[in-house]
């Protein structure tokens, strides 16, 4: 077990299920990349959400949750493979991406194969749930595609609003978290109303988490954040900080902002220059207000779910861990 | 209606369903390419097979077959989008391919989106059939991916056997035909045995049709075949003719064969030179024997299906049309 996260029993079941997942040995270039990306692991938050989404409704038939949790993890990895091609990313979790280690064609096709494998796992879920699971899964899957396209569209735009940005991260990253929880809830036979609430909890928590990620990239400390601070600033990424700053900048500062944007990606002064501008306008506070807004929504969603309070402990703990809160 | 094929009632329903299929208007670069490729039409053989696979079992609830037939057509077009990227094909049905008209990223993502849309259609099939349909669909989908990888692997190999070639075309093109028929049969509630037979019929007919395609590329006349005769020879494509020739070539002719292979793609004498070698070894007869073998298997499969003979008329006519046979 690598980067353990959340409930240790669920984490162990997920690790074992993914490690023992069997794929055909040939065609090698179709299946070896799939096994490669799945072996890179990561925190496996998403498959864990399937278990937690059932657990809260008192569901105890853990084995029958395994295929759905694999489906979610496979889908997530499919999207990473294809996104990495589109973003020309050389590394993923510190290792070469598939298109880099093999080539683009291998990455396209093995991504396709992994998406189909996700649907194969879905077909292995409890039969009576399959029609509903398929609809929920399809909805999140097409939304993730939409989010990825909107994100790519943003690269060519300079007028992205807060609202558009939040919608993009909702689609690109958060609906998968909400969907994973809802899928657990469906298998646990939760009411429609409770399903909606746990989905909303996941989506809002996902948005808050992504906003926090943007904040930490600029204001975190390298050690606890685990990646280079200021990376987003160096590549002019349109994070929530970038968008909020543009919104409040007085016109006299436009040229200062443009000058920073035009600094080379390799210029070490670029990060400090942008941070000064963020500090001048107190963008950290503005971003935190937004993050807190979605965090609070998520906690409200969880509170409103109609089950005993003790059943909610695991999800509250998860939210606390993700949002670095103590309660 | 464009290139009408098969049963005119079914053809009209399919055309109307595909023309009226609604996609969101944004993100434009996700959905416009999907609408573009679906508008290029083609003969729409595959969605028609869903109808015919139900029709033979006396199923009359035509409306409930529409989502499954759309799922098959969407899947087929998804595979065309991604295959065209991998093959660097500039044209599809005489029009620019998506990666050519837009770019690779747009083609990757809109292909992914169309695959998800295929599963959305599957989720709209009669609920009681959905779990079974999902399994059958997943099986054909992963096999098509395997076939595409094997085909790409063949480009780097010079020792492909007949058996390997047949297996590749079975996976890459034929299981989709068999699967489309089986999906119709599942919705029509056919027996497991009949489902297997109609699937085998589709697969064997598909193999025979692909072999015929290889034969016509070298030996057809341009007018009736609709594409340049000898195109496969010019690019040294490993067709069944190429493979059968290599198998029987006496060693004294190896250098002749290699010399032809090494002629430029633009050399007009290349086609004639290879045709002479094909004629010397009577490769046309050998290929026809193989084609007839699979054609006969398909007819046997159809004959053995346990329904009244009159129900089989449409599928016999389809097979006759595809294989240019008269009965």
DSSP string, A202-214: HHHHHHHHHHHHH
User: For residue B226, what pLDDT is reported?
Assistant: 57
Interface size A-B, in CB pairs within 8 Å, comes to: 111
Q: How far is CA B96 from CA A9, A143, B44, B74, B76, in A?
A: 53, 27, 19, 19, 17
In whole angstroms, what separates CA B122 from the centre of its chain? Answer: 20
Give residues 73 to 102 of B whose Cβ lies within 8 Å of A.
82, 85-86
Spatial separation of the C-alpha atoms in residues B286 and B244, rounded to whole Å: 7
Which structure tokens are listed for A1? 């077990």
With CA atoms as reference, the chain A residue closest to B171 would be A27
- The vertex-A173 CA angle with B142 and B77, nearest 5°, equals 35
Top residue of B76, B110, B145 to mutate, by most chain A CBs within 10 Å, is B145
Top residue of A70, A75, A112 to mutate, by most chain B CBs within 10 Å, is A112
Mean of the per-residue pLDDT values for chain B?
94
CB B92 within 8 A of CB B118: no
pLDDT digits (tens, 9 = 90+) for B13-53: 999 999 999 999 999 999 999 999 999 978 899 999 999 99
User: For residue B43, what pLDDT is reported?
Assistant: 86
Determine whether the interchain pair A112/B138 forms a contact, defined as Cβ–Cβ distance below 8 Å: no
Determine whether the interchain pair A119/B105 forms a contact, defined as Cβ–Cβ distance below 8 Å: no
Determine whether the interchain pair B149/A29 forms a contact, defined as Cβ–Cβ distance below 8 Å: yes
Determine whether the interchain pair A27/B146 forms a contact, defined as Cβ–Cβ distance below 8 Å: yes
Confidence of residue B326 (pLDDT cuts 50, 70, 90): low
Determine whether the interchain pair A105/B30 forms a contact, defined as Cβ–Cβ distance below 8 Å: no
Which of B86, B108, B122 lies nearest to residue A134, judging by beta carbons? B122
The backbone region for A70, taken as left when phi is positive above 0, alpha when psi lies in -120 to 50, beta otherwise, is: alpha
Nearest Cα neighbor of A111 from A21, A29, A14, A25 is A29
User: For residue A34, what pLDDT is reported?
Assistant: 98
User: For residue A283, what pLDDT is reported?
Assistant: 98
User: For residue A324, what pLDDT is reported?
Assistant: 84
Give residues 130 to 149 of B whose Cβ lies within 8 Å of A.
130-131, 134-135, 137-138, 141-142, 145-146, 148-149
Residue A109 touches partner B, C-beta closer than 8 Å: yes
Distance (Å) from the C-alpha of residue A101 to the closest C-alpha of chain B?
17
User: For residue A327, what pLDDT is reported?
Assistant: 53
Given a cut of 70, the residues of chain A with pLDDT beneath it are: 1-4, 222-228, 326-327
Neighbours of B251 (CB within 10 A): 6
User: For residue A1, what pLDDT is reported?
Assistant: 38
Residue B103 touches partner A, C-beta closer than 8 Å: no
Residue B29 touches partner A, C-beta closer than 8 Å: yes
What is the rounded average pLDDT of the residues B295-310?
A: 98
Spatial separation of the C-alpha atoms in residues B113 and B81, rounded to whole Å: 11
With CA atoms as reference, the chain A residue closest to B129 would be A131
**Residue numbers in A near B82 (CB within 8 A):** 108-109, 112
What is the rounded average pLDDT of the residues B74-91?
A: 97
Determine whether the interchain pair A120/B142 forms a contact, defined as Cβ–Cβ distance below 8 Å: yes
User: For residue A224, what pLDDT is reported?
Assistant: 59
Determine whether the interchain pair A82/B112 forms a contact, defined as Cβ–Cβ distance below 8 Å: yes
Question: With 80 as the cut, is the pLDDT of residue B146 above it?
Answer: yes
With CA atoms as reference, the chain B residue closest to A109 would be B145
Spatial separation of the C-alpha atoms in residues A16 and A9, rounded to whole Å: 11
Which of B120, B142, B149 lies nearest to residue A116, judging by beta carbons? B142
Q: Coil, helix or strand for A226?
A: coil
Residue A32 touches partner B, C-beta closer than 8 Å: no
pTM score, whole prediction? 0.96
User: For residue A221, what pLDDT is reported?
Assistant: 72
CB B200 within 8 A of CB B178: yes
Residue A117 touches partner B, C-beta closer than 8 Å: yes
Determine whether the interchain pair B27/A150 forms a contact, defined as Cβ–Cβ distance below 8 Å: yes
Q: How far is CA B174 from CA A2, A326, B3, B104, B131, in A?
A: 43, 58, 21, 27, 23
Q: How many helices (H) and strands (E) does chain A have?
A: 17, 2
User: For residue B6, what pLDDT is reported?
Assistant: 79
Helices B192-219 & B162-169, crossing angle to 10 degrees?
A: 110
Confidence of residue B1 (pLDDT cuts 50, 70, 90): very low
Residue B180 touches partner A, C-beta closer than 8 Å: no
């Amino acid at each position: 077990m690598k980067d353990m996260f959340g409930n240790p029993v669920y984490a162990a079941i997920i690790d074992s299920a993914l490690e023992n997942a069997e794929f055909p040995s040939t065609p090698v270039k179709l299946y070896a990349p799939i096994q490669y990306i799945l072996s890179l692991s990561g925190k496996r938050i998403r498959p864990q959400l399937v278990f937690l989404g059932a657990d809260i409704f008192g569901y105890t038939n853990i084995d029958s949750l395994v295929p759905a949790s694999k489906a979610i993890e496979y889908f997530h990895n499919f999207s990473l493979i294809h996104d990495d091609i589109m973003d020309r990313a050389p590394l993923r979790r510190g290792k070469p991406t598939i298109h880099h280690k093999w080539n683009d064609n291998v990455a396209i096709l093995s991504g396709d194969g992994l998406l189909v494998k996700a649907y194969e796992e879905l077909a292995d879920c409890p039969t009576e749930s399959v029609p509903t699971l398929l609809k929920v899964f399809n909805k999140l899957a097409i939304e993730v595609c939409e989010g990825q396209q909107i994100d790519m569209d943003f690269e060519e735009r300079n007028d992205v609003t807060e609202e558009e940005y939040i919608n993009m991260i909702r689609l690109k990253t958060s609906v998968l978290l909400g969907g994973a929880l809802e899928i657990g809830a469906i298998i646990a036979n939760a009411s429609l109303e409770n399903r909606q609430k746990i989905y909303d909890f996941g989506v809002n928590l996902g948005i808050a988490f992504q906003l926090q990620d943007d904040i930490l990239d600029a204001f975190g400390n390298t050690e606890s954040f685990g990646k280079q601070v200021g990376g987003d600033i160096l590549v002019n990424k349109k994070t929530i900080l970038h968008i909020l700053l543009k919104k409040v900048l007085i016109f006299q500062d436009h040229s200062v902002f443009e000058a920073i944007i035009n600094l080379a990606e390799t210029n070490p002064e670029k990060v400090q220059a942008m941070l000064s501008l963020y500090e001048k306008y107190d963008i950290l506070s503005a971003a935190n207000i937004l993050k807190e807004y979605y965090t609070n929504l998520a906690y409200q969603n969880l509170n409103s779910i109609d089950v005993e309070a003790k059943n909610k402990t695991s999800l509250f703990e998860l939210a606390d861990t993700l949002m670095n809160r103590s309660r």
